[in-house]
């Protein structure tokens, strides 16, 4: 999926019909800018391609949990995939039907389990035996009987970054098939839960069909085996992980994904759940940043911008590539070719942030046309795992978020203030003097 709603018009990048220069003027920089149209279209493309399965598509909130963005998706029929009590709180705030909420994660606390039980969410995706025991025990106390999907680990390789692989045997996620079978055999030990689903999620940014096909074949075989042993399984949650274009990847289109997985899943009497995150939000957002300084050293040219690893950590954390482009296309404007900063038309530069870490960079050795202080840059494909991973490191307020729809836009989350930075801190009397 690409970024067709972030394009140049008369040499300036716009989001839908809104000038990014104008967004920067009104919202300040750095800020995230999302396209409503791209966002919703990605969901709808997936819904259409998989129509035959009539799945429940639960958007993975950890990729982007902004209330407005999630509400836009929920209004289009999406459910939500949550991984914490905080995400449950956000999901409920925007009025999501709890019967469209699924809860994953290896470390659910008692409090989180209770909150989700009381709201009667659709599924707990369970990742270990002690977690199953804990949910069963709390459900008994609270007189509830929640749906459980066991997350299994099909042990397939995917050629994605090892930090975002989750379907291999050595991963902390999911249960091996033998343990899953054993738990079903012993399900009388867990009378306060309904073991009625299987969940599988093999990793993120997967761009080929093979790992999905392998994982789903194995998982469907497991389900058939369980059914032969008399266990009723009504639901299969096939997770997320669909990759997008950051640089030159050739990810699966929704059609290709459907062609690969629908034959394995249809006619099996299973209700299908999906949990895409990046596929929906990734290319629906950019990070808008302004050039602070151009620093020349004998070895390198650095473009120091006002966004940092605190705003977008993916380059530092995963070595991830994000395209970086100027908001105003200089090269097309001959009148500016004489400016001092334009000695070389394009130069390989490192785009770095203000944080005191060598790892604070957004891009390395990038060919960018001669930039100057004050120029705006767009860091592309930043809608997923961007703001949600932002931190206050170096006491920097987290950036604003802006939603564009057609020719309108609004700040959907204000830039943090210094007061936000110290909220909740207090100096105890034995320190204060």
Ligand X SMILES: *Cc1c(COP(=O)(O)O)cnc(C)c1O
276 binds ligand X (CB under 6 A): yes
Shortest CB 183 distance to ligand X, Å: 19
Pick from 275, 306, 311, 401: which binds ligand X (CB under 6 A)? 275
Write out the DSSP string of 156-172. ---SS-GGGB-SSTTSS
Shortest CB 424 distance to ligand X, Å: 28
Q: Which stretch binds ligand X (CB under 6 A): 185-193, 235-243, 313-321, 395-403?
A: 235-243
197 binds ligand X (CB under 6 A): no
158 binds ligand X (CB under 6 A): no
Q: Per-residue b/e over 170-179, b at no fewer than 16 CB within 10 Å?
A: eeebbbebee
31 catalytic? Reply is: no
Shortest CB 152 distance to ligand X, Å: 12
239 binds ligand X (CB under 6 A): yes
211 binds ligand X (CB under 6 A): no
Shortest CB 341 distance to ligand X, Å: 38
Pick from 35, 38, 60, 316: which binds ligand X (CB under 6 A)? 60
- Letters for 359-388 (x = contact with ligand X by CB under 6 A, - = none) are -------------------------x----
204 binds ligand X (CB under 6 A): yes
216 binds ligand X (CB under 6 A): no
285 binds ligand X (CB under 6 A): no
User: Helix 110-119 crosses helix 85-93 at what angle (to 10 degrees)?
Assistant: 30
**Choice between 90 and 366, CB closer to ligand X:** 90
Alpha-carbon separation of residue 246 from 57, 59, 124, 274 (angstroms): 23, 20, 32, 22
Give the whole-angstrom CA distance, residue 150 versus residue 123: 10
Shortest CB 153 distance to ligand X, Å: 12
Number of H helices, E strands in the chain: 12, 20
Give the whole-angstrom CA distance, residue 136 versus residue 268: 28
Residue ranges that bind ligand X, judged by CB under 6 A = 60, 62-63, 81, 104, 201, 204, 239-242, 275-279, 384
Active site residues: 356
């Amino acid at each position: 999926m690409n970024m067709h709603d972030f394009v140049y018009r008369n040499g300036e990048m716009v989001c839908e019909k809104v000038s990014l220069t104008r967004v920067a003027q009104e919202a300040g920089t750095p800020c995230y800018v999302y396209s409503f149209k791209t966002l919703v279209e990605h969901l709808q493309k997936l819904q259409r391609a998989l129509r035959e399965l009539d799945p429940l598509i639960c958007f993975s909130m950890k990729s982007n949990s902004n209330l407005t963005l999630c509400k836009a998706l929920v209004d289009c029929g999406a459910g939500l995939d949550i991984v914490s009590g905080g995400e449950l709180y956000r999901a409920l705030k925007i009025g999501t039907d709890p019967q469209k909420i699924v809860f994953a994660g290896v470390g659910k606390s008692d409090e989180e389990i209770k909150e989700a039980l009381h709201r009667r969410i659709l599924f707990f995706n369970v990742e270990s035996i002690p977690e199953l025991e804990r949910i069963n025990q709390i459900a008994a106390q609270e007189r509830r009987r929640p749906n459980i999907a066991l997350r299994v680990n099909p042990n397939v390789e995917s050629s994605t970054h090892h930090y975002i692989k989750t379907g291999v045997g050595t991963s902390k996620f999911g249960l091996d098939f033998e343990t899953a079978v054993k738990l079903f055999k012993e399900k009388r030990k867990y009378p306060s839960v309904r073991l009625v689903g299987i969940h599988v999620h093999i990793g993120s940014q997967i761009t080929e069909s093979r790992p999905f096909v392998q994982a789903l074949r194995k998982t469907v075989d497991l389900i058939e085996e369980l059914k032969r042993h008399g266990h009723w399984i009504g639901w299969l949650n096939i997770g997320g992980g669909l990759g997008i274009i950051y640089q030159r990847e050739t990810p699966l289109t929704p059609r290709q994904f459907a062609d690969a997985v629908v034959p394995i899943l249809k006619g099996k009497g299973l209700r299908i759940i999906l949990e895409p995150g990046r596929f929906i939000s990734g290319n629906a957002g950019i990070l808008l940043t302004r050039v602070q300084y151009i620093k020349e050293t004998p070895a390198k040219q650095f473009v120091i911008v006002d966004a940092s690893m605190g705003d977008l950590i993916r380059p530092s954390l995963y070595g991830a590539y994000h395209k970086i482009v100027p908001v105003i296309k200089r090269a097309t404007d001959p009148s500016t070719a004489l400016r001092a900063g334009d000695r070389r038309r394009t130069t390989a530069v490192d785009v770095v942030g203000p944080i005191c870490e060598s790892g604070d960079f957004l891009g390395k050795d990038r060919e960018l046309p001669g930039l100057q202080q004050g120029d705006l840059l767009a860091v592309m494909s930043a809608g997923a795992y961007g703001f949600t991973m932002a931190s206050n490191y170096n006491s920097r307020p987290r950036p604003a978020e802006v939603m564009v729809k057609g020719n309108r836009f609004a700040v959907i989350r204000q830039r943090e203030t210094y007061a936000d930075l110290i909220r909740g801190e207090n100096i105890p009397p034995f320190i204060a003097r």
